[in-house]
Amino acid sequence: MTGFTFLPDEQHDLDRGELRELVARIAAEPDRWRSLVCHGGGERHFEQLVRDDHVDVWVISWGTGNDTGFHDHDVSSGAVAVVEGEVVEERLVLDGAPLRLHHRAGEVFDFDAAHVHRMRQDSATPAVTIHVYSPPLWRMGSYAVAPDGALERRSISYAEELRPAEATR
Ligand SMILES: [Fe+2]
C-alpha cells in the first residue's frame, strides 16, 4: 500500500477479520480520508482512497434517500465502518420481508462473497461510510425484478454507480 504506511504491507487477500481490523484502523484516522467526504450533491458520493493488488478502500458519503439497490460483490469480501450518521442494510429474503439492520456511527460490519445486500440512508442526517474489499472490487451483480416477477442479475463494473436497478424488460 504505497503511501499508506499506516496500513500493513499485505501480500495476500484479506479475510473478514483482517478486513474488519483494517477498516476500523482507517476509520480511526480521519485525517487520511476526511477530504474525500462530499455531502449535498443529492446522489451518493464515492471516492476511492487506495487500491492495490489485494484490497481497495472507498469513502462513501450518503444523503437522505440514497439507495444502492440489491447487489453482490462478485468474488470480494468486504467490511464497512460507519463513521458518521447511520445506514440501513437489508438482506433479501424470498417470500418474506427483507432482514433489516441499522448500522450506526462507530459500528463495523463485514460480509463474504456470498452476501447479497442493499444499503440505504433513510435518516435526515448525512452519513459517511468507509468500505474495504478484498480481492479488490472488479465486477458486481446488481439485481432487479422483471415485470413477470423473475429476479435478474446484471453484471456491472465496480466503476458504475450502484442504484436500484430498473427491470430490463
Ligand atoms: Fe455492497
Q: Do 54 and 136 contact (CB within 8 A), yes or no?
A: yes
d(Cα 139, Cα 120) in Å, to the nearest integer?
20
Residue among 63, 59, 70, 69 nearest 86 (CA): 63
| pLDDT tens figures, 57-71 | 999 999 999 999 999
Report the sign of the C-alpha dihedral through residues 42, 104, 1, 76, in that order: negative
CA of 78 to the centre of ligand 1 (A): 8
CA of 73 to the centre of ligand 1 (A): 6
Q: Do 84 and 127 contact (CB within 8 A), yes or no?
A: yes
CA of 169 to the centre of ligand 1 (A): 24
Give Cα 166 distance to the centre of its chain: 20
| pLDDT tens figures, 81-116 | 999 999 999 998 988 999 999 999 999 999 999 999
CA of 77 to the centre of ligand 1 (A): 10
Q: Which three cell numbers stand for residue 40?
A: 449535498
Q: Do 48 and 93 contact (CB within 8 A), yes or no?
A: no
| pLDDT tens figures, 102-157 | 999 999 999 999 999 999 999 999 999 999 999 999 999 999 989 998 999 999 99
d(Cα 37, Cα 21) in Å, to the nearest integer?
21
CA of 8 to the centre of ligand 1 (A): 24
DSSP for 46-113? EEEEEE-SS-EEEEEEE-TT-B--SEE-TT-EEEEEEEESEEEEEE--TTSPPEEEEEETT-EEEE-T
